[in-house]
Structure 1
Amino acid sequence: MSAFLARLLTVTLLAGLCLVGSGPAATADWAPGPAVFGMGSRQEVPVTMDDGTVLRADVHYPTNPDGTPAEGPFPVVLTQTPYGALMSVAPGLTDPEAGLALLGGGNRHLVERGYINVIADVRGTGGSQGVWDFLGKREALDGAALVRWAADLPNSSGVVGLEGASYMAINQFFTVAELGEDSPVKAMFPIVPSLDPYRDMTFPGGNFGVASNVLYLAMTGFMQLVNAATAGNPDLATVLLQRAAGLLSFHADLLLQAVGNGELVNDGPYWRSRSPRSVLPQVVATGVPIQMVGGWDDVFERGQLLLYNDLQTIAAGGEQGRPMTPDQPVDPDYRMVMGPWHHVTAGAGIDMDRLRVQWFDHHLKGVDTGLTGPPLRLNEVGTDRWVGATHFPFPEATPTVLHPGAHGSLSTTAPTRSGTDTIIYAPLAVPCNRGLDQATAGGLVAVFNALRLPPPCTYNDNLTQLPLLGKTYTTEPFDSPQTIAGPLSASILATASRSDTQFAVTVSTVAPNGLSRPVASGSLLGSHRAVDESRSWRAPDGSYLLPFHPYTLEAKQPVRIGAKTRYDIEVPTTFARVEAGHRLRVTVSSADTPRLLSTPLNLLNQLGGIYGVEWGPGASHFQIPMAPADAFAEAPAVG
């Protein structure tokens, strides 16, 4: 049976069964119903895998007024977490209920509306036995087994939805791919997922993502040991030894390889097998609908609209990795909401409960919940405005080449003469920048918000633009409001005095009072400048819209000292307003700390470097797609 027919038949059958909480509902009038049930829980339920390893899961189920389990049948929503019980009871940074769902705890809102909610500890974490296989094949096999087990729980309807944020978003793709067609999974709800962990967070631009990686390794290492000791596991000694093995095989190994330029420093089989990109064709073949939530300031932001693009392109029969064409049909089962969020604040300010129930009621219960309108809902950075879109890259935007020139000018008109701007390599930059807030998952922003203080870095990058730290290029004020609608790129033609380079490029909007607000930033290690043409996107004029770098050991090449060399730098997508009277600024520098830091051997090849950035005919330029601010129609984030 084809995935499409299976999905159609499932929806029809579920509608006919009149599951709890379903029934006829007019599209225009739909709203999440009130709480109908209480919530009961069974903690640390053992689930045995095919190799004898015992995983543990918490099962939260609807109850009657007297506390007894309600009969159902109920759909199951499953989350697979590596963070264990300690995070499951942690309060959220913005909203307690949202925090529980984000971190892997039980979702009371769903349970009270007729869902069984299962939170399972992945192998080697929480109360589960085994050694953690970070997004690996063994974990995918476990995920498939957990889905089948959850579908057979008492009072289950036999259909399953997958939900979760970050790691718990990424592993949904591997689970669905492993299950294949006609599985119990009928819907996914990934929040702040990654398309490609190597490029999105671990080694963006080919450099070590020091802030994100160190925080993540420290957090997960601590959590795994604490959760193992507090989970009440009867075989505690064995589990603790397994945790130690996991820490050595992933945490210590990644850090040691970063220090010694080991295999994991470059892209290769390890990272590719842990990238959802590698299984998207199998995911699309299953026909499972996917509602994604991403954030413009999320640590995984780079890959989120690319993930939407790939799902749509594969579904339309196109080649994965190629951009959607303006006339390409759009599959309404692949949707995304992109908001003004960091990693830990995803969904803040919108009705995430409504979005979640609307999605699961439609696909797991067969309710007509009014899933219409544009599949892309985008917050315009710098405003409270939400708009709708269908295609990415955005056909409403015109790819626009901006040329740097004398005295820091930036214009659509190429300069008629040539010049050179000097940048002195500095391994460290002013830490108060957008990258710090993004790489630390928004934790610092959340602290300032809790103290009711304005975050000092997120909306102001003037300090990073000091002359010795980089070179800025700024346009004249805009006559009318425009929207930067990426993806973006920078092509830097430069000489260097050392055998490796590091370039960081930041795009900012500048208010009349001089306040510079960063909206997008990218970077590139010079020795990783090779471009894979087959996976790169070009604008109509032939310049790069999105250069794709292999980042493999085989593609790596030293920089020729003193030779003019082109560096094509990917600048992750933004969707940002430039108001009338405001200007656009591009800053080229040599550092983006503490978000990025070169590994020690690469650093030795950069120290003492002096760069000559060339501008003029045929020299450096920036590709920034622009659209009139009214080119996109307003649409609610949820509805």
Structure 2
Amino acid sequence: MRLTILAPLVAALFIAFTQPAQAERVDSGVPGMLFDHDVPVAMNDGAKLSINIYRPDKPGRYPVLMLMGPYGKDTTMADAPAYRTSWAKLIAKYPDLCKKSSCRYIRFEAPDPERWVPSGYVVIHADVRGAGASPGVLDPFSPRETQDYATLITWAAHQPWSTGKVGLLGTSFQAINQYQVAALRPEGLAAILPWEGAFDQYREIAYYGGILNVAWQFWWEHQVVPNQNGNAGTPLIDSIGGGKDTGLPLSQERLKDNRIDPVGAFARHPFDDAWYHERTPDGRRITVPLLDVANWTDWSTQGYLAAASRQKWLRIQTGDHLTPFYSDQALALQKRFFDHFLKGIDNGWEQEPRVAVQVRHRDGTTWRNEKAWPLPDTNWEPYYLDAASGSMGPTFEAAAPAAKSWPGLGEGLTFTTAPFVNETEFTGPVALRLWVSSSTADMDIFAAVRLIDPEGRDVTFMGNSDPNVPLDLGYLRVSHRAVDPANSTAWQPFHPHVAAEPMTPGQLYPVDVEFMEPTSIVIPKGYRLALTIQGTDFGYGPGAPIVHAKDYDLPDDSHSGLFFAAHPNRDPALYGGTDTIVTGGKHASYLLLPHVPPRS
């Protein structure tokens, strides 16, 4: 069972909806905007979440935009150590941003109330249980947290200043939990706009291809724990009242007891079990209007594909996941969506193309409207690998059988196409079928699809969380190689991840590598594609020959994207063996690419 085990929510869950909570009215400093700070709202178990309410300073009922997160509803990006780099990037890209707003109320990955309240919206920002001014146990994405969100949505729908319609808006964490709560179908929820949020808690957050993702440890320690309720030592400053906004101080022992370390929890649950099922929504229960804004590098078309909503739209963009959210173009898109579904304005939104993709080129991007996802006229082309020559391409289907090995924890293998003789577009999901063996009982596969210029240099792109990424990344722990045919397609294998099947050393196995995200690239004439297969994190080390799709000052990095695999569960004795790939004949290994015909 999925999150639906919590639904339908019983009437007792929603208590005292028509009774406004006590508010601390603060002078917002913004003409026409009322600001109620640290409003306590009771949950069904008696605990209280602390929320901020921003609303128009005139009588009436207004639709509500809401988000709930762990980062601090009163913490500005400019003042938080973990967010200063993000803030600097944002201001560098949009130097006039704070001329359109005081920027006093912009929070990390959250909408700016000053740009919504004048348009006739109430904006509510809540601290999740256990974070900021909300006491309790901090347990990200837990069923308890999702229940809280559902309670808060229905509470807002019953307030005297509310029309009864609530929409959800935010990025990353505040997009992931939109999917979760939408599956509970709380009263009042009318539309969601998850901006670059994961859907599948096992496959997109905890484990990539069955390999534990420890990148979350940095997120936990640097972005979440500093804002834990009771953390008197937090470096975060309450931008509203000064001082700290983490409630009454708690001892270090109590603080530790009051938080659930997600990476520790992931490690205790190596398979897609009931723990993840409680945190991964049942898409069949998501029926509200939905606009999913995804990114080619990390998060996610999965929510769009899973949701049962009859009114759903998908936009896939490139670039980092923070700055585009605050652009004028993004704000206009967000307002058109919510104006239609929360205010009932006939603004032509229903004629908006159901799918729009930002196609990547060597030196820029172009937006294109499409009818469906994956693109209906995609030609799925296998690029066969040849271990003898290190080449790949459609013509190697008939290549003679060959094999090549690499050290599991060392440098891997790279297969390269011939230079493309014509400009060629690949836009869509990517798949990889390999025949492999190992000298040990398991092996990890890290795959990177790369664009190579005529001088042999990598062309890299700005990613969701990394300014230096290849075209696509795939992962698989070979003991997790089992595939569920009923839920798989040729371009998207589905691994159940419910048990480990050790390898017999020296035995050959067919495996399908998971690429959770699609890709998009128009390959210029004379450029090549490369596929790197290795047993460690893929990244661009010091001195790597790189050119960038944009002129960025980029750091060297040992890994790309939101994934990092270094962890004790990668025992060198098990994952440091000699790994082998076999190609040709009855053991054809190939990269399946989504070729898109030229558009007229």
Q: For the superposition of Structure 1 and Structure 2, which TM-score range results when normalised by the shorter chain?
A: 0.7 to 0.9
Please name the residue that 2:598 is paired with: 630
Equivalent residue for 1:45, pick from 39, 55, 58:
39
User: Match for 1:337 among 312, 315, 319?
Assistant: 315
Give me the whole-angstrom Cα distance separating, in 2, the residues matched to 1:176 and 1:141: 11
Give the TM-score normalised by the residue count of structure 2: 0.78
1:239-258 matches, within 5 Å, as: 243-247=255-259, 249-251=260-262, 254-255=263-264, 258=267
List per-residue Cα deviations over 1:326-357 (Å, max 9, x = no partner). Answer: xxxxx4x2112211123334436661110111
Q: Deviations over 1:435-490 (max 9, x none)?
A: xxxxxxxxxxxxxxxxxxxxxxxxxxxxxxxxx61211111222222221231111
| Structure 2 partner of 1:559 | 503
The aligned counterpart of 2:56 is 62
State whether structure 2 residue 356 is matched by structure 1 residue 377.
yes
Equivalent positions of 1:410-449 (< 5 A) are: 410-413=392-395, 414-426=397-409
Letter in 2 for 1:75: P
Write out per-residue CA displacement over residues 507-532 of structure 1, whole angstroms, 9 at most, x where no aligned residue: 11222222223200101112111112
The CA distance in 1 between the partners of 2:291 and 2:168, in whole Å, is: 10
Q: Partners in 2 of 1:369 and 1:519 — Cα distance?
A: 36
Question: What is the alpha-carbon distance in structure 2 between the residues aligned to residue 186 and residue 239 of structure 1?
Answer: 41
Matched, 1:366 2:366: no
Change in CA separation of 1:396 and 1:102 when aligned onto 2, cut-off 3 Å: farther
For the pair 1:591 / 2:573, whether they are aligned, the reply is no
Q: 1:395: which partner in 2? A: 376
Normalised by the length of structure 1, the TM-score is: 0.74
Question: How far apart, CA to CA, are the structure 1 residues paired with 2:162 and 2:251?
Answer: 31
The one of 96, 99, 123 aligned to 2:129: 123
Distance 1:350 1:380 in 2: 20
1:494 aligns with 2:488: no
Counterpart of 2:519 in structure 1 is 574
| 1:224 matched residue in structure 2 | 228
Matches of 1:363 and 1:242 in 2, distance apart? 44
SS of residue in 2 equivalent to 1:220: helix
| Deviation string, structure 1 residues 241-280 (Cα, Å, up to 9, x no partner) | 7643232x335xx33763xxx3x222211112112xx322
Is the CA contact (8 Å cut-off) linking 1:486 and 1:624 kept in structure 2? no
Closer, same or farther: CA 212–345 of 1 in aligned 2, 3 Å? farther
**In the aligned structure 2, how far is the partner of 1:628 from the partner of 1:281?**
30
Deviation at 1:140, TM superposition (A): 2.2
Deviating more after overlay: 570-579 vs 115-124: 570-579
Q: Which amino acid in structure 2 is aligned with residue 255 of structure 1?
A: G
> Structure 1 residues 140, 120: CA separation in 2 closer, same or farther (over 3 Å shift)?
same
- State the SS of the aligned residue for 1:396: coil
Distance change (3 Å), C-alpha of 1:240 and 1:139: farther
Say whether the 8 Å CA contact 1:207–1:598 is kept in structure 2.
no
Q: Could you tell me how far apart the structure 2 residues matched to 1:52 and 1:559 are?
A: 51
Aligned length: 506
Aligned-pair Cα RMSD in Å: 2.7
Alpha carbons of structure 1 residues 560 and 525: separation in structure 2 relative to 1, 3 Å: same
Q: How do 1:151-170 and structure 2 match up within 5 A? A: 151-170=157-176
Aligned partner of 1:439 in structure 2 is none
Q: Please state how far the C-alpha of 1:238 moved relative to its aligned partner.
A: 6.4
Is contact 1:508–1:519 with CA below 8 Å preserved after alignment?
yes
Deviation at 1:54, TM superposition (A): 1.3
1:206 aligns with 2:184: no
| 1:172 paired residue number | 178
- Match of 1:210, SS? coil
TM-superposed CA distance for 1:222, in Å, is 1.7
Amino acid at match of 1:388: N
* 1:33 corresponding residue in structure 2: none
Q: Which residue of 1 aligns with 2:304?
A: 308
CA distance in structure 1 between the aligned counterparts of 2:471 and 2:126, rounded to whole angstroms? 37
Determine helix, strand or coil for the equivalent of 1:149. Answer: helix
Residues 85 and 227, structure 1, Cα contact 8 Å, conserved in 2? no
One-letter code aligned to 1:525: R
Amino acid at match of 1:590: G
Amino acid in the other structure paired with 2:152: L
Report the equivalent of 1:613: 581
**3-state SS of paired residue (1:624):** strand
Alignment deviations for residues 545-586 of structure 1 (CA, whole Å, 9 cap, x no partner): 21111222xx21111101112221022311221122222221
From 137, 143, 146, give the equivalent of 1:140: 146
The answer as to whether partners of 2:212 and 2:266 remain within 8 angstroms in 1 is no
- 8 A contact 1:84–1:121 mirrored in 2: yes
CA distance in 2: counterparts of 1:226 and 1:511, whole angstroms: 53
Q: Which amino acid aligns with 1:566?
A: P
Are 1:549 and 2:530 counterparts? Answer: no
Instruction: Name the CA shift for 1:345/1:624 in 2 (closer, same or farther; >3 Å).
Output: farther
CA contact (8 A) 2:377 2:597 kept: no
- Quick one: which amino acid aligns to residue 398 of structure 2? P
> What is the alpha-carbon distance in structure 1 between the residues aligned to residue 437 and residue 77 of structure 2?
54
| Structure 1 pair 242–46 and aligned structure 2 pair: CA distance change class (3 A) | farther
Partner SS for 1:85: coil
Task: Report the Cα offset of residue 100 of structure 1.
Answer: 2.5
